Amino acid sequence: MNGTTKGTMRRRVVALRGEEGQSTVLFLGMMLLVLSVTAVVIGATAVNLEARRLLAAADGAASAASLSATASGDVRPTVSEGQALAAAEEYLHTSGAQERFDGVEITAVQVTDGGRTAHIELSTTAELPLISQMLPAEVPVSAESHARVILRR
C-alpha cells in the first residue's frame, strides 16, 4: 500500500467512528413514534366503546320513557316530560348504569309528536387508558336516543 491509500483508509475509519450511536437515536425515535400512535389508537377505541355503551343505555332509557305512557279513555297513550324523566332515571338506576359509567347524567329530555315520542340524551366522560396514567385525560361523551309510543289493538 502506498501512503495515499493508508491516509484514505484512516479518514474513512475516523469518519465511521463519528457516526457511532446514530442507529440507537433513530431506533428510539421510531419507538417513540410507534408508542404514540398506539396510545392514540387505544384512546380512540376506548372513547368509541364508551360511546356505544352509552348509546345502549340511552336506548333503554328512551324505551322505558315511552313505555311509561298513560292513556285515559279512548285517547291515544301519551307521555309527559316528567314521566319520561322519571322513567329514564328509574331505568338508569335499575340497569346499573350509574355504576358502569363515571358520572352519567341525563342532559336532555324532550317529548314531541303530541307526547308520542320521547327523546333522551345522556352524557358521561371516557378516560383515555394510556394517557390518563400520566395526565388527567378525559373526553366528554354523549348519546341521544328516541322511542315512540305505539298502541296496537
Backbone angles phi, psi at 70, to 5 degrees: -125, 150
The Cα–Cα gap between 63 and 52 comes to 17
- Structure letter (DSSP) for residue 37: H
The Cα–Cα gap between 109 and 66 comes to 12
| Burial class of residue 14 (count of CB atoms within 10 Å of its CB; 0-12, 13-18, 19+) | exposed
Cβ neighbours for 142, distance < 8 A, ≥ 6 positions apart: 54, 107, 121, 122, 123, 124
Cα 43-125-60 angle, rounded to 5 deg: 110
pLDDT values of the chain reduced to their tens digit, one per residue, 153 residues:
555 566 666 666 555 555 666 788 889 999 999 998 888 888 889 899 999 999 999 999 999 999 888 876 667 888 889 999 999 999 999 998 888 888 899 999 999 888 889 999 999 998 888 776 666 678 899 999 999 987 765
User: What pairs with residue 111 in β-bridges?
Assistant: 118
Predicted confidence at residue 42, as pLDDT, reads: 87
The Cα–Cα gap between 105 and 21 comes to 54
DSSP string for 39-79: HHHHHHHHHHHHHHHHHHHHHHHHHHHHHT-B--TTSPPB-
Predicted confidence at residue 5, as pLDDT, reads: 67
Q: What is the pTM of this model?
A: 0.76
Predicted confidence at residue 11, as pLDDT, reads: 63
